[in-house]
Each structure stands twice: as structure tokens, then as C-alpha cells.
Amino acid sequence: DVKVTQSSRYLVKRTGEKVFLECVQDMDHENMFWYRQDPGLGLRLIYFSYDVKMKEKGDIPEGYSVSREKKERFSLILESASTNQTSMYLCASINLPYGYTFGSGTRLTVV
Amino acid sequence: AQSVTQPDIHITVSEGASLELRCNYSYGATPYLFWYVQSPGQGLQLLLKYFSGDTLVQGIKGFEAEFKRSQSSFNLRKPSVHWSDAAEYFCAVGPTGTASKLTFGTGTRLQVTL
């Protein structure tokens, strides 16, 4: 089975901190995604990557950046964390036609 | 642009009752369609998928879904709900673009009463 691993389940950070969320997949997938999930809003795409060093903005990229230096690792960076970035963050990789495989999520609280 | 509508935000059913969760999509080509389930505090788990062939697809945990092209729907069903089915359910459609993005609905939260 494909494994997508997010390094932290829970994080608490202070406003203004630079935050790194890490995601690793073990199946050599080219395409990886970062979503945030908020009640009533579903999943919203932040950034995605279809190859090493390639990235594209999703629907809500403001305040975020990403890094993909190796195929298996896709990092989400909050340049200066703010309270409105408190959310559940989900990483996924895709293997059509089987769909996305998601990580367990990182619940980030910014205080 | 593609979109997914899950018209029911919250559904409550009694244990043992049947369940149908609605999903309507808008997509310019033959879609891939997915249903995911999310238990509290967890990531999303794939329940089932459709990409061609038989329009009635079987998934895990006794779930099934039927693709109806004429209605642009992909409703999820289960004949008899168990208390452990209480979770949030997401419908998704795709792929689009270079990275084969999926578009998700806003989810339906299922509550099961005993």
C-alpha cells in the first residue's frame, strides 16, 4: 500500500513563526498536493507539485510556499504564521486511477 | 471548471437503517469519481472509485455508489448503517490539469443514532 506520512499530527506555533510541514510518500508518485481543511469549507487546495522542483498554486496559496527537492518529499511552508492559518493540513499523492492517498493530517494551531 | 456539490451538510440515520449520500458533479469529460471517508482527527480514506465500466461500484465497508451520467450524480449508498460509519464523507471528481487534480465537495457529516 502507498504510504503518505506527515511528520507531525499536532503542532502549536506562535504568530510570526516560520512553520514547516513535511510530507513523504513511498511510492515514487510524481504528483503531490497540500490541502487545508476547515469546517464547512471542505478541502481547499493550497499548492501542488507534478515533479521535482515544479510547483503550482492552488486555490488559496496566499501566505504559503512549498518545496520539492526530492520526489518523495513535499514540504509546506508558512512564511509567517498567522492565527487564520490555524487548520487541519492534509498532504496527498495521486496514483490514477486509484485516486489520492492522504496522510493522517497535521492539526496546526497558531497562537 | 469542474465542481462537486454535496447538498446535505449533515445527515442523521438510525443504526440499521439505509443510507444515501448525494453527490452531483460538473465536469467536461468522462470523469473519475471517488468517495472518501474521514473519521474524526484522521486523514481521508478511499471508499470506492469509478472510472469506467459497470456504473454500480462496490467499495469497502459495505458501501456502493452508482454513476448516473444523465443526472451527473454519483450517490453513495449503504443498505444497513453501523454506528462505526459515523464520519464525514467527501465526494471528488477529476482528474484535471498537469498534476491530475481532484476537486472535492464540501462533505456530508453522518451521525448514527443507536
Whether the CB of B114 is below 8 Å from some CB of chain A: the reply is no
Residue A102 has pLDDT above 70, yes or no: yes
The pLDDT of residue B66: 96
Whether the CB of B3 is below 8 Å from some CB of chain A: the reply is no
Substitution target in A96, A108, A109 with the highest count of B β-carbons within 10 Å is A96
Residue written as cell 443514532? B113
C-alpha cell recorded at residue A41: 469549507
Residue B101 has pLDDT above 70, yes or no: yes
Q: What is the pLDDT of residues B27-77, one digit of tens each?
A: 877 789 999 999 987 889 999 999 888 899 999 999 999 999 999 999 999
Q: Give the integer Cα–Cα distance in Å for B103 and B110.
A: 21
Q: Which positions in chain B touch A48 (Cβ < 8 Å)?
A: 99, 101
Largest Cα–Cα separation, chain A? 40
Task: For A37, name the nearest residue in chain B, comparing CA atoms only.
Answer: B106
Q: Give the integer Cα–Cα distance in Å for B28 and B74.
A: 16
Q: Is B9 in Cβ contact with A98 (below 8 Å)?
A: no
Relative to beta strand A100-102, strand A32-38 is unpaired
Whether the CB of B92 is below 8 Å from some CB of chain A: the reply is yes
Q: Give pairs for B93-97: CB < 8 Å, separation 24+.
A: B93/B2, B93/B4, B93/B25, B93/B27, B93/B31, B93/B32, B93/B33, B93/B34, B94/B2, B94/B31, B94/B32, B94/B34, B95/A94, B95/A96, B95/B32, B96/B2
Rg (CA), chain B: 14
For B38, residues 6+ apart whose C-beta sits below 8 A from its C-beta are B44, B45, B87, B88, B89, B90, B107
Whether the CB of A55 is below 8 Å from some CB of chain B: the reply is no
Q: What average pLDDT does range A95-108 have in this prediction? A: 86
Given pLDDT bands bounded at 50, 70 and 90, which one contains residue B23? Answer: very high
The pLDDT of residue A40: 82
